[in-house]
Amino acid sequence: MEQGKTIRELEIVVKGYEDNLGEPLRAVREDVESEWQLKLDEEVKKKQEKEAWADELVKQLEREKKVRSAVGVRCTRLTLPPFR
């Protein structure tokens, strides 16, 4: 939620920098764009990792539900993948 907002803000900065400030010098624009692009890429990567981790949790919960219903035994422990 918050991360999605941060990503959208970074995308606006990267794409709209020139429109908001006029025509900056080429070197300055490229420096700012590369700095913000790195931040944007990092946030996108973090979001993708969290989504993949959440997807894996859902898969494991579904497997756990199938095992419980098939065996009819209550399990006391669920093995979760480590969150990075």
Mean pLDDT of 75-82: 62
pTM (2 d.p.): 0.50
pLDDT, mean over the chain:
79
Q: Of 76 and 81, which is predicted with more confidence?
A: 81
**Domains of the chain by residue range:** 2-71
The pLDDT score that the predictor gives to residue 41 is: 93
Report how far apart, in Å, the C-alpha atoms of 70 and of each of 33, 73, 84 are: 55, 8, 32
The pLDDT score that the predictor gives to residue 62 is: 93
Question: Does residue 83 have a pLDDT over 80?
Answer: no
CB atoms near residue 47 (< 10 Å): 14
Chain segment 39-72, per-residue pLDDT in tens:
899 999 999 999 999 999 999 999 988 888 877 6
Instruction: Count Cα neighbours of 30 within 13 Å in the Cβ-side half-sphere.
Output: 3
User: Whose CA is closest to 45, among 57, 35, 37?
Assistant: 37
